[in-house]
Amino acid sequence: MQIQLRFVEGKSFPQGLVTDVLEDLNRLLYRLERQDIENIRELFPSIPQVAVDAALFRLERYNHSAVYIEAARPGSLELVIAGSALAYWILEKTLAESFTEAWLKTDLHKRVRDFFLMGQKKKSEIIVSSMENNRLFNRRRIREKRIVINTKLSGDGRELLIEILDYEREDSPPSYRDIEKE
């Protein structure tokens, strides 16, 4: 999954807004990755519960690793973010230890891999829905800014464009550049 996060409209944005948006995206994707591991036995009952429990325990160490910044593009502030396939990686490592090297050659490995790959579109749709229902940016600091957001999801759901079009800079200091323009 690739997310393009674009801050536009020629206004300056405070650093806190950028980091809050990134943290909220990471938090949501981490929660979705965790749910994938918690629910994996419903689809694949042959995966031992002890492996699921171990994977959930390991997942806690990576709670800030659900998204990666792959690139920053010129122009408006644009970050290219990748969903990290964290749940798949943790579960695969855990199951590989349980089943040794033969794990990669099993039909179960292929089915689990396909399950996680197919889940990208659903995760992107949940992000869009959370933004449309104003649930993603739930921190008071972000809500108070009244952000105008536009989202666009590709047909296969693997690419998501999030544009932060505008926000109200109420009661925040101007930049030195703003002062020079006065």
User: What is the residue extent of each domain of the chain?
Assistant: 2-181
Which helix or strand (DSSP H or E) is residue 136 part of?
none
Question: What pLDDT sits at residue 169?
Answer: 56
Residue among 85, 83, 2 at smallest CA distance from 36: 85
- In terms of pTM, does the model score above 0.85? no
In whole angstroms, what is the distance from residue 101 CA to residue 115 CA? 21
Question: What pLDDT sits at residue 72?
Answer: 81
Question: Taking the C-alpha atoms of 92, 96, 99 and 105 in order, what is their torsion angle to the nearest 10 degrees?
Answer: 80
Question: What pLDDT sits at residue 24?
Answer: 86
Going through the chain in order, the beta strands assigned E by DSSP cover: 2-7, 67-73, 77-83, 148-153, 159-166
Question: What pLDDT sits at residue 83?
Answer: 79
Question: What pLDDT sits at residue 131?
Answer: 74
Question: What pLDDT sits at residue 167?
Answer: 59
In whole angstroms, what is the distance from residue 149 CA to residue 158 CA? 19
Question: What pLDDT sits at residue 174?
Answer: 66
Please count the other Cβ atoms lying within 10 Å of the Cβ belonging to residue 118. 10
Q: Low-confidence residues of the chain, pLDDT below 50? A: 140
